Amino acid sequence: MTDLDGGALIGEAERLRKRFNRDFWLGSYYALALDGDGRPLRVVSSNMGHLLLTGIADHERELAERLFQPDMLSRYGIRTLSAREKAYNPFSYHRGSVWPHDNALIALGLARVGRADLAKELMERVFTAAKLLPERELPELYSGLNELVPVPRANSPQVWSAASVFAFVTASLGMEAGDGLTIQPAEGINIVLRGLSFGGRKYLVVANGGVSVEPL
């Protein structure tokens, strides 16, 4: 790819970002979709939380705050749909239940925009649910109620939910891998990682009122 091609792609991406924010931003949240006439669907859902990972949203702070309002945030994580919506059903797959992997993607986005504190809060809520469930593992989903009620048809164990554990830890530690390994943990985090692999070596990472990284 030539530099000219790269510049053209960057320009197109910037135009997409501007169109997206113009068409989807509704003052305090992003619309779920546009209808056939280009009108935004005024539905508050967890889908918009995934924008935090992409860099496309101009209103990252407002978006993060909206996800943590009581209609979206249950005791055990962010619901797929606001409890204020007419279609809300706390036992429905996409209309009000809580998905651990959905929350983990949001947590990674929160860490990306400098809110590792909120990522840590999400981790604690979802991990509390795991501790209360019969097998102490994360199922595909559970109800969006403020009482922990399993959804009988949810897969358990479920690989997306198992992977969410690592995403939550990454987000809460503010951990990024580039030329080097950067760790900026949320305040109050208490995590020990043994055998973390990076650059062909393994490390012991301890985050508890600070952070230390020691080769093994």
Share of the chain above pLDDT 70, in %: 98
Q: In the prediction, which pLDDT does 1 show?
A: 46
Distance CA 58, CA 21 (A): 7
Burial of 199 per CB tally in 10 Å (0-12, 13-18, 19+): exposed
Tell me which residue of 155, 123, 120, 119 sits closest to 140, measured CA to CA.
155
Q: In the prediction, which pLDDT does 174 show?
A: 92
Number of residues that this document lists for the chain:
216
The beta-strand segments (E) located in 67-117 are 73-74, 77-78
Phi and psi, residue 9, nearest 5°:
-65, -40
pLDDT for residue 103 is more than 70: yes
Q: In the prediction, which pLDDT does 4 show?
A: 58
As given in the structure block, the two tokens for residue 125 are 């809520």
The CA–CA distances, whole Å, from 106 to 46, 76, 133, 210, 214 equal 8, 14, 22, 24, 29
Strand partners of residue 25: 30
The larger pLDDT score, comparing residue 133 to residue 72, is at 72
Distance CA 14, CA 215 (A): 42
DSSP 23-42: HHB-SSSB-S-B-TTSPBP-
How many Cβ atoms from other residues are within 10 Å of residue 186's Cβ? 21
Task: Quick: pLDDT tens for 156-207.
Answer: 989 999 999 999 999 999 999 888 888 999 999 999 999 999 989 999 999 9
Task: Quick: pLDDT tens for 121-134.
Answer: 999 999 999 999 88
CB 123 within 8 A of CB 168: yes
pTM given for the model: 0.93
Distance CA 133, CA 144 (A): 14
Distance CA 6, CA 65 (A): 35
The maximal CA–CA distance of the chain, rounded, in angstroms, is 59
For 165, residues 6+ apart whose C-beta sits below 8 A from its C-beta are 104, 138
